[in-house]
Structure 1
Amino acid sequence: MPLLKDAKATWILAWPIMVGQLAQTGTAFVDAVMAGHVSAADLAAVSVGASIWTTLIVTLMGLLLSISPLAAQKVGAQQTHELPALTQQALYQAIFAGLVAMVIAHAALPVFDHLGLTAEVADKARRFLAAISWGLPALAVSRTLYGYSSALNQTKPMMVIALIALALNIPANWILIYGHWGFPAMGAVGCGWATAFCMWISAALWYGWIRYSAVYVGTHPFDKLRGIDWKAQWQLAKLGIPIGMMFFIEVSAFSLIALLIAKLGTTAVAAHQVALNFASLLFMIPMAIGTALTVRVGHAVGAHDWQQARLIGQNGVRLGLIVAALGGGITAIFGAQIARLYTQDAAVLALATQLLVFAGIFQFSDATQVVAGGVLRGYQSTRAPMLLHLTAFWLIGLPLGYVLTFGAGPIAARGPQGYWLALVVALTFAALSLLWLFRRVSLAQLKSF
Structure 2
Amino acid sequence: MASLAWPLLIGQLALIANGVIDTAMVSHFSAMDLAALALGVSIYVSVFVGLSGVLQALQPTIGQLYGARQLHAIGNEVKQGLWLALLLSMIGCVVLAFSPLFLTFAHASPELAEKATLYLRIEALALPATLGFRVYASLNTALSRPKMVMAIQVTGLFLKVPLNGLLIFGGLGLPAFGGPGCAIATTVIAWLMLGVAWLLVAKMPLYRELKIFGGGFVRPSWRAQRNLLKLGVPIGLSYFIEVTAFTLMAIFIARLGAIPVAGHQITANVGTVLYMLPLSIASATSTLVAQAIGASEWRNAKKIGYAGIRLSMGLSVLIGIVVWFMREHIIRAYTPDPVIIAAALPLFLFIAFYQLFDSLQVTTAFVLRAYKSAVIPTVIYAVTLWGVGLGGGYLLGFDSFGLTPAWLQGAPGFWMANSASLGLVGAGLMLYLRHVQRRAARRAAADS
Shift of 1:181: 4.4
Equivalent residue for 2:49, pick from 30, 54, 58: 58
8 A contact 1:339–1:349 mirrored in 2: yes
Residue in 2 aligned with 1:214?
205
Shift of 1:253: 1.3
Residue in 2 aligned with 1:254?
246
Report matched runs for 1:27-426 at 5 Å.
27-36=18-27, 45-115=36-106, 125-223=116-214, 224-265=216-257, 268-343=260-335, 348=340, 350-410=342-402, 414-426=409-421
Which structure 2 residue ranges, 5 or more long, are not aligned? none
Shift of 1:97: 0.3
**SS at structure 1 position matched to 2:209:** coil
Residue in 2 aligned with 1:443?
438
Shift of 1:393: 1.1
* Separation in structure 1 between the aligned mates of residue 374 and residue 77 of structure 2, nearest angstrom: 19
Q: Deviations over 1:236-292 (max 9, x none)?
A: 111111111111111121222234444455555554443323322221211111111
Report the AA paired with residue 154 of structure 2: L
* Separation in structure 1 between the aligned mates of residue 399 and residue 28 of structure 2, nearest angstrom: 33
Instruction: Specify whether residues 90 and 263 from structure 1 end up closer, same or farther in structure 2 by C-alpha distance, changes over 3 A only.
Output: same
Fraction of identical pairs, as percent: 33
* Separation in structure 2 between the aligned mates of residue 356 and residue 126 of structure 1, nearest angstrom: 35
Shift of 1:93: 0.3
* Separation in structure 2 between the aligned mates of residue 85 and residue 283 of structure 1, nearest angstrom: 33
**SS at structure 2 position matched to 1:246:** helix
8 A contact 1:293–1:375 mirrored in 2: yes
Q: Deviations over 1:98-120 (max 9, x none)?
A: 22112212324343343356777
Report the AA paired with residue 241 of structure 1: V
- Largest Rg, 1 or 2: 2
Report the AA paired with residue 138 of structure 1: A
* Separation in structure 2 between the aligned mates of residue 360 and residue 44 of structure 1, nearest angstrom: 31
* Separation in structure 1 between the aligned mates of residue 111 and residue 183 of structure 2, nearest angstrom: 16
Q: Deviations over 1:156-210 (max 9, x none)?
A: 1111011011111222233334445454555544333333332222211211221
Instruction: Specify whether residues 129 and 158 from structure 1 end up closer, same or farther in structure 2 by C-alpha distance, changes over 3 A only.
Output: same
Q: Deviations over 1:392-443 (max 9, x none)?
A: 1122111122233344231569333332222211111111111111122113
Report the AA paired with residue 437 of structure 1: Y
* Separation in structure 2 between the aligned mates of residue 188 and residue 329 of structure 1, nearest angstrom: 38
Shift of 1:40: 6.5
Report the AA paired with residue 54 of structure 1: V
Report the AA paired with residue 440 of structure 1: H
Q: Which stretch shifts more, 109-118 or 379-388? A: 109-118
8 A contact 1:115–1:262 mirrored in 2: no
Instruction: Specify whether residues 208 and 267 from structure 1 end up closer, same or farther in structure 2 by C-alpha distance, changes over 3 A only.
Output: farther
Instruction: Specify whether residues 268 and 110 from structure 1 end up closer, same or farther in structure 2 by C-alpha distance, changes over 3 A only.
Output: farther
2:18 pairs with 1:23 = no
Instruction: Specify whether residues 182 and 418 from structure 1 end up closer, same or farther in structure 2 by C-alpha distance, changes over 3 A only.
Output: farther
8 A contact 2:286–2:305 mirrored in 1: no
8 A contact 2:395–2:401 mirrored in 1: no
* Separation in structure 2 between the aligned mates of residue 324 and residue 344 of structure 1, nearest angstrom: 28
Report the AA paired with residue 149 of structure 2: M
**SS at structure 1 position matched to 2:424:** helix
Shift of 1:94: 0.5
Report the AA paired with residue 158 of structure 1: V
* Separation in structure 2 between the aligned mates of residue 180 and residue 274 of structure 1, nearest angstrom: 34
* Separation in structure 1 between the aligned mates of residue 251 and residue 189 of structure 2, nearest angstrom: 27
Report the AA paired with residue 72 of structure 2: H
**SS at structure 2 position matched to 1:85:** helix
Instruction: Specify whether residues 403 and 162 from structure 1 end up closer, same or farther in structure 2 by C-alpha distance, changes over 3 A only.
Output: same
Instruction: Specify whether residues 184 and 331 from structure 1 end up closer, same or farther in structure 2 by C-alpha distance, changes over 3 A only.
Output: farther
TM-score (norm 2): 0.89
Q: Which stretch shifts more, 319-328 or 26-35? A: 26-35
8 A contact 2:288–2:304 mirrored in 1: yes
Aligned-CA RMSD value = 2.7
* Separation in structure 2 between the aligned mates of residue 230 and residue 212 of structure 1, nearest angstrom: 29
Q: Which stretch shifts more, 281-290 or 341-350? A: 341-350
**SS at structure 2 position matched to 1:374:** helix
* Separation in structure 2 between the aligned mates of residue 384 and residue 294 of structure 1, nearest angstrom: 17
